[in-house]
Amino acid sequence: MNRSLLVGLLAFFLVFVGLLLIGAGWLVLSIPLVVYLLEGLLRGPEKVVLEAERTLSQERTNPGVPVIVTLRVTNHGPTLEQLILSDPLPAFLDVVEGSPSRMMTLRHGETLTWHYTVQGRRGYHAFRALSAIASDRLGVFTRRLSIPTSGQLLILPPVPRLRNLVIRPRVTRVYAGAIPAQQGGPGVEFFGVRDYQPGDPPRWINWRASAHHERTLFSNEYQQERVADVGIVLDARRRVNEFRGGRSLFEHSVLATASLADAFLDQGNRVGLMVYGQFINWLAPDYGKLQRERLLQALARAQPGESQAFSGLVVPPRLFPAMSQIVLVSPLLDDDVSVLLRLCAGGYSLIVVSPNPVQYEKNLLPASPAATLAARILHVQREVTLQRLRHAGVRVVDWDVECPLENLVESALSHPPAFLRAILQGGGRK
Amino acid sequence: MIRFLFIGMLVGSALALGIGWAQTSLPALEVLPGVLAALWLVAVLRGFSWASSVGFSLMVLLSAVGLSKGMLLPCALVGVVASLVAWDLFAFGQRLRYAASDDYPVRLELQHLAQLGVVVALGLVLAWISSTVRLAFKFEWQVVMALIALGGLSTLIGWLRRNGE
């Protein structure tokens, strides 16, 4: 109940009962209340006409970088004895200097300008309105309103650099890139030997093989390296990512997604993103810096969500080019394995980067024999799940989020040593 | 400063009503205002801001009922005014949290206290005048004035419901 109404009702009650009982004392008691109420009515704001303008020192930034928000509020209406202005902020932003709210008297035509500084974690916030409460000095009669303002702040996720990632999709695109395409042609790595063809550079001629055959020349072939389509799926289901005490693995998943997307784009690949949580957010595959920006913005906006329709993992194959590379970033549930196996059976090459939820939750719990035992059981269950995927040919990175992602991913997905490469490429030789 | 004044007003209200109730036909109820004030204080300190409005309403009712049981008018009046001031100060303290250091909160406090002081003083003076000055009206006039008072207050409340917040 608002304050003026409460005082009005109490005064009315005292007057009514006083008249009913013909008790002068009751009427006298109502007088201070009526005076208080009238003060509010006489001095309260009749009309509130405010205009606000907001500027941000930067609208796109990185976590932890201070951003100065400047607000300029002009009163085009009558003088407001008490004006409370408050700029609502999302949870991911912290005020480090100044205050997002003010309380003052604002005269007719007067302009108030003030600044405050925020910094925050990954996220996106559209500043839509400034909340204002105008009242008399005693706050008896108040008017609340939202003053429309514009402005948005995008805090992009951090992007640790990943180097030398190697993927082996079954199909590559026509453009030159860094992925061995299992086809002979110009390149660096030796692929095989074929008959000499007019136009072959002399340095391609394999003199040793040619010496064994009269009047025949042989040329070396090299493995073509091309770009590929990579679809990254970020699992944003709340039940998979969130744990007790409001702790969440989701930020780690976002970080991994950003790093992988950046690394794949750096290699010249065409990268798409699907964020899967409350709904499916799909960013079509594309190349280059512009796509990198689109991906980072999509990741800045990504939030964990829950939907009954998407309680299980769904990766619609039609969103990804046939036989392309899919990278799933997910803590992973047992139920998700069948979906991934179907993708493998459909010809997709699959990499799973899985922030380890068991280890994460164990670190949150106080050490006790029961917790240790439970963690061991869950570790075994998880290991069985991951083994099923590995046996199906899925490359799995089991990530304890306490460890840096770069080290783990580079050891698991980077370019193999030369001797291993020779073994792997043995099938390509003629 | 606001917090100390709030507590002081609560204590003042409880004391005035306690003394008032001690003189009524039900002296055993003299502790009731003290208990109510203590509950009010504890509730708002624990973060139940709605308790302030409830406490204020109950204090006003306690004063009014006390009058019909023989409480002295000055005690009831002081009880109502002190609880009104306590209720107002608590709400002001809530609003003051929005003030930045650039708004000079101490100056805002002083401005508020000055305004509240004027209103309270005016209320007390008018109440004192109305309780001492006796004017005789014919019954018809009394009825007309009563109707005007009730009609005016009803209209005011209706308007507040439509336009408030």
- The interface pTM score, or ipTM, of the predicted complex is 0.86
- Among A15, A34, A144, the residue with its CB nearest the CB of B165 is A144
Distance between CA atoms of A218 and A213, rounded to whole angstroms? 9
Give the pLDDT confidence score for residue A336 in this predicted structure.
83
Give the pLDDT confidence score for residue B165 in this predicted structure.
53
Q: Nearest residue of A to residue B131 by CA position?
A: A28
Q: Nearest residue of A to residue B49 by CA position?
A: A1
B123–A35 CB contact, under 8 Å = yes
pTM score above 0.80: no
Give the pLDDT confidence score for residue B105 in this predicted structure.
87
Q: Is B54 on the interface with A (CB under 8 A)?
A: no
Q: What SS3 state is found at A330?
A: coil
B56–A36 CB contact, under 8 Å = no
B161–A21 CB contact, under 8 Å = no
Which residues of B, range 143-162, sit inside 8 Å of A by Cβ? 146, 149-150, 153-154, 156-157, 160-161
B164–A32 CB contact, under 8 Å = no
B160–A104 CB contact, under 8 Å = no
Distance between CA atoms of A201 and A279, rounded to whole angstroms? 54
Distance from CA of A3 to the nearest CA of B (A): 8
Q: Nearest residue of A to residue B162 by CA position?
A: A5
Residues A332/A306, Cβ–Cβ less than 8 Å: no
- Give A-chain residues touching B120 at CB under 8 angstroms: 32, 36
Select the residue from A29, A95, A140 to test the B interface by mutation, using most B Cβ atoms within 10 A: A29
Q: What is the pLDDT along chain A (430 residues), one digit of tens a residue?
A: 688 888 888 888 888 888 777 777 888 888 899 899 888 888 888 788 889 999 999 888 888 899 999 999 998 988 888 999 998 888 888 899 888 999 988 888 889 999 999 998 888 888 888 999 998 888 888 888 899 888 888 898 888 888 777 777 777 766 676 667 677 777 777 778 888 888 888 888 888 888 888 888 888 887 777 777 888 999 888 888 888 777 888 989 999 999 999 988 988 888 889 888 777 788 888 888 898 999 998 998 888 887 766 666 666 767 777 778 889 999 888 888 888 888 888 888 888 999 998 888 888 888 888 888 988 999 999 999 999 888 888 888 888 888 888 888 877 777 665 666 666 666 544 4
B68–A24 CB contact, under 8 Å = no
Residues A54/A71, Cβ–Cβ less than 8 Å: yes
Give the pLDDT confidence score for residue A173 in this predicted structure.
66
Give the pLDDT confidence score for residue A429 in this predicted structure.
47
- Give A-chain residues touching B96 at CB under 8 angstroms: 103
- All residues at 6 or more sequence positions from A361 whose CB lies less than 8 Å from its CB, including other chains: A243, A244, A375
Q: Nearest residue of B to residue A43 by CA position?
A: B115
Residue type at position B130: S
First to last CA, chain A: 86
Calculate what percentage of chain B has a pLDDT beyond 90: 30
Distance between CA atoms of B40 and B34, rounded to whole angstroms? 10
- Give B-chain residues touching A144 at CB under 8 angstroms: 165
Residues A87/A100, Cβ–Cβ less than 8 Å: yes
Residue type at position A264: F
B108–A103 CB contact, under 8 Å = yes
- Among B96, B102, B123, the residue with its CB nearest the CB of A114 is B102
Tell me what the mean pLDDT of segment B105-131 comes to: 89
- All residues at 6 or more sequence positions from B119 whose CB lies less than 8 Å from its CB, including other chains: A35, A36, A39, A138
- Among B123, B154, B156, the residue with its CB nearest the CB of A36 is B123
